[in-house]
């Protein structure tokens, strides 16, 4: 892990073949690398598959993959106490490998209990579904939180919709979260205490900028 004096941000990515939105990841990494040391992790340390993106982002990721920081660590080995912020970009694959993940459960339990800043965008919001609390691990950590995620209309447009293990909007409502979304592909970001969520790629940059601002405010908050 980097050793500069900057605080460290954990970026969690899917390792499923449905991949990680390249546009979302580029925004997440390039915005976060200035205020934070950035640390990538995936389930079992699998190499993420970046999908979509334009010609510029394709060139960027080609160069990025030559760097050591591009190699993710195993999510199972992450010590959540070492990070001040958690970011999960839009990962279509998160519906399969992050929504019910024991390592994510432990990380989220720490972040929620310590009120550390969390940002999740698009299908990356599914990683939050691993956040269980209580002795029986049956209560969702984000119960009663206001948040967003891809709408049912957006989910239905996926070619793998019939086999999705979870539909984000439905999960949030069924587990007593407060769900909202834009129906016209506009930027839609919801901030609730330490949690920032963005509906889709269009909301990505705004969500990440709010995470940086939130962390900065908390760092500069005077102690009593």
Over residues 5-59, the pLDDT tens digits come to 899 999 999 999 999 999 999 999 999 999 999 999 999 999 999 999 899 999 9
Would you state the structure tokens that stand for residue 159, as one six-digit string? 């070619």
Burial of 37 (0-12, 13-18, 19+ CB in 10 A): buried
Which pLDDT does position 208 carry in this prediction? 95
Which domains, ranges and CATH numbers included, belong to the chain? 8-219 (3.40.50.880)
Give the integer Cα–Cα distance in Å for 2 and 14.
22
Q: Tell me: the pLDDT tens digits for 195-204? A: 999 999 999 9
pLDDT of amino acid 218:
78
The terminus-to-terminus CA distance of the chain in angstroms comes to: 31
Query: What is the C-alpha separation between 60 and 142, in angstroms, rounded?
Result: 35
Whether pLDDT at 137 is above 80: no
Identify the pLDDT of residue 152: 95
Which range (91-100, 132-141, 190-199) has the least confidence?
132-141
Please say if the pLDDT value at position 217 is more than 50.
Answer: yes
pLDDT attached to residue 121: 98
Closest-CA residue to 207 (of 80, 83, 79, 23): 23
> Is the pLDDT reported for residue 98 higher than 70?
yes
Q: What integer pLDDT is reported at residue 221 of this predicted model?
A: 62
| Cβ proximity of 55 and 26 under 8 Å | no
Mean pLDDT, rounded, for 124-141? 84
194 pLDDT above the threshold of 90: yes
* Residues 176, 173: Cα–Cα separation, whole Å: 5
Retrieve residue 91's tokens.
């990962």
Report residue 162: phi and psi, to 5°.
-60, -20
Mean pLDDT value of segment 187-211: 95
Written as one string, the DSSP assignment of 82-148 is G-SEEEE---TTHHHHTTT-HHHHHHHHHHHHTT-EEEEEGGGGGGGGG-EETTTT-EETTTT-EE-
* 35/31 Cα distance (integer angstroms): 8
The CB density around residue 223, as the number of other CB atoms within 10 Å, is: 3
Q: Does residue 134 register a pLDDT over 80?
A: no
Average pLDDT over residues 137-162: 94
pLDDT higher than 60, residue 3: no
pLDDT of residue 224: 43
pLDDT, the chain, mean = 92
Region 130-137 average pLDDT: 72
Name every residue whose Cβ is closer than 8 Å to that of residue 67 and which is 6 or more positions away in sequence. none
Whether residue 147 contacts residue 182, with contact meaning beta carbons closer than 8 Å, is answered with no
């Amino acid at each position: 892990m980097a050793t500069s004096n900057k605080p460290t941000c954990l970026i969690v990515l899917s390792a499923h073949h449905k991949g990680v939105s390249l546009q979302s990841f580029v925004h997440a990494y390039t915005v976060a690398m200035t205020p934070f040391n950035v640390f990538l992790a995936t389930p079992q340390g699998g190499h993420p598959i970046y999908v979509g993106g334009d010609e510029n982002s394709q060139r960027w990721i080609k160069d990025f993959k030559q760097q050591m920081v591009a190699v993710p660590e195993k999510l199972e080995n992450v010590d959540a106490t070492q990070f001040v912020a958690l970011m999960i970009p839009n990962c279509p694959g998160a519906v399969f490998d992050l929504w019910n993940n024991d390592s994510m459960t432990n990380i989220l339990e720490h972040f929620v209990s310590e009120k550390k800043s969390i940002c999740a965008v698009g299908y990356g919001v599914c990683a939050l579904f691993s956040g269980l609390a209580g002795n029986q691990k049956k209560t969702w950590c984000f119960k009663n939180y206001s948040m967003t995620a891809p709408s049912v209309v957006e989910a239905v447009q996926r070619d793998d919709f019939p086999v999705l293990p979870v539909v984000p909007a439905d999960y949030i409502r069924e587990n007593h979260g407060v769900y909202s979304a834009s129906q016209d592909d506009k930027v839609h970001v919801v901030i609730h205490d330490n949690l920032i969520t963005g509906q889709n790629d269009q909301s990505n940059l705004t969500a990440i900028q709010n995470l940086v601002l939130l962390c900065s405010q908390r760092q500069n908050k005077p102690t009593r």
